Every structure is written in C-alpha cells, then in structure tokens.
Amino acid sequence: MSQVYHLTTPLSNEVVSSLKSGDIVYLSGIIYTARDAAHKRLVDLLDEGKELPFDINGAIIYFVGPTPPKPGDPIGSAGPTTSYRMDSYSPRLIAEGLKGMIGKGKRNKEVIDACQKHKAIYFGATGGAGALLGKKIKSAEIVAYEELGPEAIRKLEVVDFPVTVINDSYGQDLYQMGRAQYEVK
C-alpha cells in the first residue's frame, strides 16, 4: 500500500531504501534544476575529470524550465518537463551520488537499472500543476550556466513539494504497476 512521507534533502541510502513505487512524498530542503542542455554540460565536466558546480552526493535534480517570475516572486510556474530527454545522462549522475530525480513520464531501462544498482529514486511531479508547484518553491538562485536562460542550473529551496515515487530502488515502476491494475483487457 502507498505510504505518505515528509522528507528533507539530501537523501541518504537508508531513506531511499525505505521508499516504494506509489508512495507519496513531500520534499523539503534544497533541490537543483537542470534540463537537457545543463545535463550535457554536467556529464562533459565529469568526462573531463572536473568538479561539478554543486555537491551531487544525496542531491535531487528537478527537470524543469519555469516561466519568468513576476516582479517580487522567486520563480514563475514550475511544473516538471518530460524526463526521457535526460535518460542518456541520468545513469552517469546516479553513479556519482545523485539520489533523486523529479520529472514526468517514462524512463528507460538504463535509468531504472541505475536506480536499483546505486540506490536512487525517480519521482513524478504532477505535469501541468505549475502554479501549485511554483508556490512550494521559496527561493531560487542560479548556480551555473546563466546563459542558458530557463535551462540554467538553479538551487531551489522547497517546502512540502509533492511528488510520487515512480521508480524505486528495487526496480519497480509505478507506470507499469498502476496501469496493470486498472487495465481492462
């Protein structure tokens, strides 16, 4: 049965191990944003043996390209983008210590396997709930690649940011499990 957790970042292996596909999690603390272009740069840095612009140990990356903030707001609407575009980069970052990813939509086998092997979680946030999710973000600060605009890496402080465990560290996939349960053949 699906459980509800309130967790604070960074995530430890113990916490990751306790989560199962279908669990609902409210995240608080620091998460980082990155989309395709930023992922490519992060992996290039690793290939060159250079340091990443933030500490990846236990970190969570949110796949998001927000709308511009209105004056006085930290960020605009900020719901997840489709995750498969990050599939070719995520396993490398997971091997480096990344413990969580937040996005929407299916991941490939390599990502699901990496989550199992190195203990990490793929969380789904609600696509199209950008206004609601934007309000859970209390501050946003660019930490790298400002020139990428909405795709720059931002450090976000979140409070009770709602996500669902899609792929857990046991190789389970909520998209398959949920669908199998309600499919009428």
Partner 1 sequence: MREIAYEEIVKTVRDIIVYSACNLPKDALDAMKAAYENEKSPVSKEVLKQLLENANIASSESRPLCQDTGLAVFFVKVGADVRVVGGLLKDAINEGTEKGYKEGYLRASTCEPFSRANLKDKVGYNLPAIIHFDIVEGDKIDIEYAAKGGGSENVSRARVFPPAAGKEGVIKFVKECISDAGPNPCPPLTVGVGIGGTFEKAVISSKHALFRNIGSVNEDPEMAELEETIKTELNKLGIGTMGMGGTQTVLAVHIEANPCHIASLPVSVNVQCHSSRHTHIVI
Name the site residues for ligand SF4 (rule: CB under 6 A): 79, 127-128
The vertex-138 CA angle with 132 and 139, nearest 5°, equals 125
Contact track, partner 1, 87-126, x by CB under 8 A? -----------------xxx-----------------x-x
Task: Return phi, psi of residue 124, to 5°.
Answer: -100, 130
Residues of span 120-159 touching partner 1 by CB under 8 A? 124, 126-135, 149-150
Position 72 contacts partner 1 (CB under 8 A): no
Catalytic status, residue 39: yes
Instruction: Say which of 39, 99, 104, 107 is annotated catalytic.
Output: 39
Q: Is the dihedral of CA 20, 22, 24, 30 positive or negative?
A: positive
Q: Which residues pair with 6 in a beta bridge?
A: 26
53 binds, among partner 1, ligand SF4, none (CB under 5 to 8 A by kind): none
Q: For partner 1, give the closer residue by CB, 97 or 127.
A: 127
How many residues does this entry show for the chain? 185
* CB of 31 vs partner 1, minimal distance in Å: 15
**Reduced 3-state DSSP string for 120-158:** CEEEECCCCCHHHHHHCEEEEEEEECHHHHHHCEEEEEE
Determine the Cα–Cα distance for residues 66 and 142; give it in Å rounded to an integer.
Answer: 13
Phi-psi region of 139 (alpha: psi -120 to 50; beta: other; left: phi over 0): beta
28 binds, among partner 1, ligand SF4, none (CB under 5 to 8 A by kind): none
Residues that bind partner 1 (CB under 8 A): 2, 22, 24, 64-70, 76-79, 81-82, 84, 104-106, 124, 126-135, 149-150, 162, 164, 174-175, 177-185
Q: Which residues are annotated as catalytic?
A: 39
